[in-house]
Amino acid sequence: MTLPKAQTKPLRFVKGGALHTLHDVPPDRTLLDVLREDLHRTGTKEGCGEGDCGACTVVVGHLQGGKLQTRAVNSCIKLAHSLDGMALWTVEDLAAPGGRMHPAQEALVQCHGSQCGFCTPGFVMSMAALCEQAGAKPLTRESAQQALSGNLCRCTGYRPILDAACQMQLLPPMPLDSPALRRQLKALAQSVAADKAAVAAPAQSTDSAYLAPSTLPELLALRQAHPDAQLVAGCTDVGLWVTKQHRQFARVLDTTRVDELRQVDRYPHHIAIGAAVSLQDAFAALVKDRPQLQSFADRFAGLPVRNAGTLGGNVANGSPIGDSMPLLIALGSNIVLASTRGYREMPLESLYTAYRQTCMAADEVLAYIKVPRPQRAELSRVYKISKRTEDDISAVCLALQLQIHKGKVTHASIGAGGVAATPARARATEAALRGQPWTEAMVRAAMDTLRAEFSPISDMRASGDYRRQVLGNLLWRFWLESHGQIATDIHRLDLELQA
């Protein structure tokens, strides 16, 4: 059944050096459908339709502080209206007017990095974004692997593709940025702002089916006025509802333009991460305080998903296999909910009431995630167990934060994912550890407590028995890794606190 939809405002973006204005684009139409069906730009391919294969990768850009910021994203799960006021590049836009190929394209040719060619446009776009962001900084194989972590190739093999990514900088540059483009985007931003100013009461405007407020008061007023609107914050999960479940939304409320929610603020005792901060930027903020989280951050989906998805969206989603929640629970994070009635703060684990259910009222939004800064004597780790090393969903995720003083556990906080209907805190195991000596015998007893604390289900990713066994094993791994690491981590924290 087709749902009636309110009228949408024109969608305007810069592509191929030209301003495109599209009318009557439904609020739940994806960017990939607009490209292939409306603009007939079929170089961007449709593969999995869920952000896993990267065949649909495009590059988007916006002005921030007068500078062009570009990122590779999956067009298959990106709503088209989220592009309003931005720049877009597809594989058709990279070659110079005279026909000279972009360094990403030329390097793939020289290194024989394509066979069937279906995945090649996506690889090209991820490489072009990498080339643009690297600038004069040398490209390494590691940086190439990270940039291509969201792109799947089934026939060529990754060696020649990685060779091509590393070779791009040896070719004549073709930057995506230019003074002309910046002028276009500045003019477009002024036009969008003028249109918005023409509406006397934007919080009460109901003439658009795609609402994208730019301030927190506007967002809260619109949330109160339209509690049934589908809230999106990056759309890496809601996009699957569109492509896989064929769900339709008569009205969408987009949080990613809200200035207050796109900031990371650092305070003496905590950092406050706005709910609209991308996963990539949010993890960068967490890693700055706790460098040991870098490998975990790199394993959270592929880079295009981390570029588009938000930490707030991942938390509010409430999935029991969402990887950020166990980590944030273990770090003692609080969340701040906001509405026109005010704010309320609570421990993150208190947000969830049942499977994908939260205690948020219909007029509330998740505004901030507050993460405590590391303390002296803190030892923290997070472990992700999945069938694939990269770009995969966890079977089990376990995060632990202990404070150990003079050989005794003075504080314990443990978050677990994939073992219950919601992201959970292992309270019984925390109690078993707290106040006890950090010894092998104590850890082995706590392993039994942790295995008994949850009753995970069996599904396609793992059996319940396997998950219980892994929980205990990960606590044992944490114990083994703690030897030789406690003194190192404490010394590092001492230096950072002194600085």
Q: Is residue 6 part of a domain?
A: no
Same domain, 324 and 459: yes
**CATH value at residue 268:** 3.30.390.50
Q: Is residue 4 part of a domain?
A: no
Which of 170, 192, 209 is the C-terminal boundary of a domain? 170
Same domain, 72 and 147: no
**CATH value at residue 247:** 3.10.20.30
Same domain, 16 and 102: no
Domain total for the chain?
3
Q: Is residue 2 part of a domain?
A: no
Same domain, 228 and 334: no
Of 96, 97, 80, the C-alpha closest to 33 is 80
Same domain, 330 and 440: yes
Same domain, 44 and 190: yes
Q: Please state the rounded mean pLDDT for residues 414-441.
A: 97
Residue range of the domain that includes 379: 263-489
Same domain, 166 and 289: no
Query: Distance of alpha carbon 303 from its chain centroid, rounded?
Result: 8
Q: Is residue 1 part of a domain?
A: no
Which of 254, 277, 304 is the C-terminal boundary of a domain? 254
Q: Please state the rounded mean pLDDT for residues 97-113.
A: 95
Same domain, 390 and 454: yes
Same domain, 368 and 346: yes
Q: Please state the rounded mean pLDDT for residues 463-491.
A: 84
Q: What is the pLDDT of residues 310-345, one digit of tens each?
A: 999 999 999 999 999 999 999 999 999 999 999 999
Which of 170, 198, 219 is the C-terminal boundary of a domain? 170
Same domain, 374 and 442: yes
Same domain, 250 and 322: no
Q: Is residue 498 part of a domain?
A: no
Q: What is the pLDDT of residues 242-263, one digit of tens each?
A: 999 999 999 999 999 999 999 9
Q: What is the pLDDT of residues 363-415, one digit of tens each?
A: 999 999 999 999 988 999 999 999 988 888 999 999 999 999 999 999 999 99
Same domain, 16 and 155: no
Q: What is the pLDDT of residues 49-83, one digit of tens each?
A: 999 999 999 999 999 988 999 999 999 999 999 99
Q: pTM of the prediction?
A: 0.92
